[in-house]
Amino acid sequence: MPNVMLRYNDKGELLFYVAKKDLEEVITSIETDDGASWGGTVELSNGDRFFIDPISPPPEFPTTLRFKRG
Amino acid sequence: MSEMTKEQTEALIQEVLEVYPEKAQKERAKHLTVNDQSVEKSSKCITSNRKSLPGVMTIRGCAYAGSKGVVWGPVKDMVHVSHGPVGCGQYSRAGRRNYYVGNTGVDTFGTMNFTSDFQEKDIVFGGDKKLAKIVDEIDMLFPLAKGISIQSECPIGLIGDDIEAVAKTKSKETGKTIVPVRCEGFRGVSQSLGHHIANDAIRDWVIDPATGKEFASTEYDVTIIGDYNIGGDAWASRILLEEMGLRVIAQWSGDGTLAEMENTPKAKLNLLHCYRSMNYISRYMEEKFGVPWMEYNFFGPTKIEESLRAIAAQFDDKIKEGAERVIEKYKPQWQAVVDKYRPRLEGKRVMLYVGGLRPRHIIGAYEDLGMEVVGTGYEFAHNDDYDRTINEMGNATLIYDDVTGYEFEEFVKRVKPDLIGSGIKEKYIFQKMGIPFRQMHSWDYSGPYHGYDGFAIFARDMDMTLNNPCWDSMTPPWKKLGEETAIAAE
């Protein structure tokens, strides 16, 4: 259950950063992102998958959230 | 030796690794690589931030070094107590040359060593009472100290002293900021974790309690984060930012103060020089206070120009014009430096091995002087640092992580660089091997190297080292071939 910092990079992509793991990857896909809620399984550019229960209303970035390994 | 191909460099790494036992060989192989710019993610080619192998000569420091020596130490108006035995503080005292303005011992304490000097009885019965007494003494002897940080040395964690409790009680009593930092040397694999712990301590004990403090901010407030003012670096950077119309409200932590740290969340933009040691707090301020941050590089005119423009792009036209004006103003100055030194340094090859930022940041400055960096490596970088390094380095150059004394020597023997830039522990080995060397941690007692002013000093120092006549005297006269040998008088 890593604590994940989410922030936009210069290109406007969402970055997924886990300090303890030195993991900083772009989120390539999110299961639910329809304006009303945000979350589900996220896939990173290195192929890793994490899961978070959809949050409603969508969180404002940058923020820190707790993910599960998906 | 001419340009090495990728295969040759790979063969060199293999050859160097051969002396290790099988297990160590397998482990070390992951930390050495040949640069390939087509690789997007460094994790595919290099492993970093791992524990050093027992038995090899690593050049790394400890978490205490990262916290007290790097992040906290330069905060000038606080007293930093090295809590534990006397040695850690004394042997690291003032070694990093973080310059500051102030009266040492009155309102600033940068080059002084404060320690709780642990004895056997403190280890056995605990040192909390002693710490409380020390805080009282400091408060009495140095009334102008704005705060105290307690930098734990190894024994504090081992005996389980509750320094947080002491800090809280004493902070209430004295009304001053007292920061307990749990940076015991045995934590983590290198000083890198010390940076992180120190950042977290700043977050919990300085920034959060100061939220809501009043501050008259302007539209053009920026901060310099991760510049430790080594030989005056932060000053050489600061004047450029101020000349383009920005207001620098805080310096972290070279020549910095506690008040500056508290005001940082009120800035419009955090400018991050040393990404490795202060990205944690920058990320936190972005999340909590919405202060964006960006990395910049003030080594060498090319990078300075790029950075000034990138910084200006975050502001309005007034600052953008200011940036162009600054670039224009300093152009004749650095052009003269390049014209003077480039012919003397052109084509020289450099190998670097420094801490967590310079192995990639200085490359631009060497390139401005026509020099080439043929090998680089970090003591304690993480993979995000190597991600940023791959594009800076040429193809087929060597990259080494946490290089061991043996590996470094072997690489140097084979690559035969004209200059090496690394730390004090490496300096005399390479000088005795007859290779010009610059100590790049504290600029070999010179500096500043940041900014346009720093570039002139950088170029002069490199020339002074490389073209020093002493390198022609490495071979004693009687061993020089083709020269007459002395004949004994009859």
**Which position has the higher pLDDT, B260 or A70?**
B260
B384 contact residues in A (CB cutoff 8 A): 22, 24
Q: Tell me, what amino acid is at B304?
A: I
Query: Residue B483: which pLDDT band, with cuts at 50, 70 and 90?
Result: low
Using a 10 angstrom Cβ sphere, with 0-12 exposed, 13-18 middle and 19 or more buried, the burial of residue B247 is: middle
Under 8 Å between Cβ of B293 and B283:
yes
Task: Give me the half-sphere count of Cα atoms (radius 13 Å) on the Cβ side of residue B477.
Answer: 3
- Say yes or no to pLDDT of A32 above 80: yes
Using a 10 angstrom Cβ sphere, with 0-12 exposed, 13-18 middle and 19 or more buried, the burial of residue B339 is: exposed
* B273-284 confidence digits (pLDDT tens): 999 999 999 999
Using a 10 angstrom Cβ sphere, with 0-12 exposed, 13-18 middle and 19 or more buried, the burial of residue B112 is: middle
pLDDT of residue B369: 97
Query: What are the structural domain ranges in chain A?
Result: 3-69
Contact B283 A17 (CB under 8 A): yes
Contact B382 A7 (CB under 8 A): no
**CA pair distance B241, B451, nearest whole angstrom:** 10
Residue written as tokens 């051969």?
A: B18
Q: Is residue B283 less than 8 Å (CB to CB) from chain A?
A: yes
- Give the residue from chain A lying closest to B383, CA to CA: A22
Contact A22 B384 (CB under 8 A): yes
Under 8 Å between Cβ of B254 and B100:
yes
Task: Give me the half-sphere count of Cα atoms (radius 13 Å) on the Cβ side of residue B291.
Answer: 24
pLDDT of residue B295: 95
Mutate to test the interface with A, among B269, B275, B286 (most CBs of A within 10 A): B286
- Cβ burial B284-315 (10 Å sphere, 16+ → b, else e): bbbbbeebebbbbbbbbbebbbebbebbbeeb
- Give the residue from chain A lying closest to B286, CA to CA: A62
Q: Stretch B98-106: mean pLDDT, rounded?
A: 96
pLDDT of residue A19: 85
User: Known catalytic residue: B361?
Assistant: no
- Say yes or no to pLDDT of B1 above 50: no
pLDDT of residue A65: 92
- Give the residue from chain A lying closest to B44, CA to CA: A46
- Selecting among B28, B97, B187, B195, the annotated active-site residue is B195
> Distance, in angstroms, between A20 CA and closest chain B CA?
10
Under 8 Å between Cβ of B371 and B347:
yes
pLDDT of residue B489: 67
The alpha carbon of B144 is separated from its chain's Cα centroid by a whole number of angstroms, namely 29
**CA pair distance B145, B261, nearest whole angstrom:** 15
Mutate to test the interface with A, among B196, B203, B283, B386 (most CBs of A within 10 A): B283
Under 8 Å between Cβ of B236 and B450:
yes
Cβ-nearest to A24 among B280, B287, B384: B384
Structure tokens at B431: 């000088």
Beta bridge partners of B461: none
User: Known catalytic residue: B62?
Assistant: yes
Within 8-47 of A, beta carbons closer than 8 Å to B belong to 17, 19, 22, 24, 46
User: Known catalytic residue: B65?
Assistant: yes
- Selecting among B28, B31, B83, B96, the annotated active-site residue is B96
Q: How far apart are the first and last CA of chain A?
A: 10
| Residue among B195, B199, B217 nearest B261 (CA) | B199
Q: Kindly state the percentage of chain B with pLDDT values over 90.
A: 90
Q: Stretch B155-176: mean pLDDT, rounded?
A: 96
pLDDT of residue B490: 64
Structural class in CATH, domain A3-69: mainly beta
Query: Residue B41: which pLDDT band, with cuts at 50, 70 and 90?
Result: confident
Contact B287 A62 (CB under 8 A): yes
Q: Range with the lowest mean pLDDT among A14-23, B59-68, B73-82, B230-239? A: A14-23
- Selecting among B63, B65, B88, B145, the annotated active-site residue is B65
Contact B283 A62 (CB under 8 A): yes
pLDDT of residue B476: 85
> DSSP letter at B458?
H
Q: Is the peptide bond before B265 cis (omega within 30 degrees of 0)?
A: no
User: Known catalytic residue: B470?
Assistant: no
pLDDT of residue A33: 87
* B362-394 confidence digits (pLDDT tens): 999 999 999 999 999 999 999 889 999 999 999
Q: Tell me, what amino acid is at A37?
A: S
- Say yes or no to pLDDT of B472 above 70: yes
B280 contact residues in A (CB cutoff 8 A): 19
**CA pair distance A52, A4, nearest whole angstrom:** 11
Query: Residue A46: which pLDDT band, with cuts at 50, 70 and 90?
Result: confident
Q: Is residue B442 less than 8 Å (CB to CB) from chain A?
A: no
| Residue among B161, B145, B164 nearest B258 (CA) | B145
- Say yes or no to pLDDT of B2 above 60: no
**Which position has the higher pLDDT, A1 or B298?**
B298
HEC string of B147-181?
Answer: EEEEEECHHHHHHCCCHHHHHHHHHHHHCCEEEEE
Give the number of other Cβ atoms within 10 Å of residue B199's Cβ: 23
User: Model pTM?
Assistant: 0.94
Q: Stretch B116-125: mean pLDDT, rounded?
A: 96
Under 8 Å between Cβ of B381 and B388:
no
Structure tokens at B373: 């960096």
Q: Is residue B306 less than 8 Å (CB to CB) from chain A?
A: no
Max Cα-Cα span within chain A: 31
Cβ-nearest to B287 among A5, A24, A46: A5
* B304-346 confidence digits (pLDDT tens): 999 999 999 999 999 999 999 999 999 999 999 999 999 999 9
| Residue among B185, B184, B179 nearest B166 (CA) | B179
| Residue among B410, B391, B349, B436 nearest B2 (CA) | B349
Q: Stretch A14-43: mean pLDDT, rounded?
A: 89
Predicted ipTM of the assembly: 0.91
HEC string of B67-134?
Answer: HHHHHHCCCCCEEEEEECCCHHHHHCCCCCCECCCCCECCCECCCCCEECCCCHHHHHHCCHHHHHHH
> Distance, in angstroms, between A22 CA and closest chain B CA?
7
